[in-house]
Amino acid sequence: METCKICQHECEQEKDICSNCRELIKKLDFKTFNEERKWIEELFVSRFNNFLLIFSLIVTAGFANNFNNWKSIVFYFGSLLLFFCWLPLIRAYHKYDHGVRILLTTKDFKDERNQIEIMQRLYERRKNNMFKTFTMSKWLAYYIPIACIVFLIAVGLGITFCVIK
What is the nearest approach in angstroms of Zn ion to the Cβ of residue 23?
10
Total interface residues for Zn ion by CB under 5 A: 5
Contact 106, 114 (CB under 8 A): yes
Residue 26 beta carbon to Zn ion: minimum distance, rounded to whole angstroms:
13
- Name beta bridge partners: 86: none
Four-point Cα dihedral 25, 27, 31, 35, nearest 10: -50
Q: Tell whether residue 4 is a contact of Zn ion (CB under 5 A).
A: yes
* DSSP codes joined into one string, 51-111: HHHHHHHHHHHHHS---TTTHHHHHHHHHHHHHHHHHHHHHHHHHHHHHHHHHHH-SEETT
Pick 6 or 89: Cβ nearer Zn ion: 6
- Alpha-carbon gap, residue 113 to 103, rounded angstroms: 11
Residue type at 116 in one-letter notation: I
- Closest residue to Zn ion, Cβ-based? 4
> Should residue 152 be labelled a site residue for Zn ion when binding is judged by CB under 5 A?
no
Assess 102 for contact with Zn ion (CB under 5 A).
Answer: no
Judged by CB, which is closer to Zn ion: 102, or 152? 102
Under rule CB under 5 A, residue 6 binds Zn ion = yes
- Which residues in 20-39 contact Zn ion (CB under 5 A)? 21
Q: Does 153 bind Zn ion (CB under 5 A)?
A: no
Q: Output 7 or 43, the one with its CB closest to Zn ion.
A: 7
Question: How far is 135 from 126, CA to CA, in rounded Å?
Answer: 10
Q: Which residues bind Zn ion (CB under 5 A)?
A: 4, 6-7, 18, 21
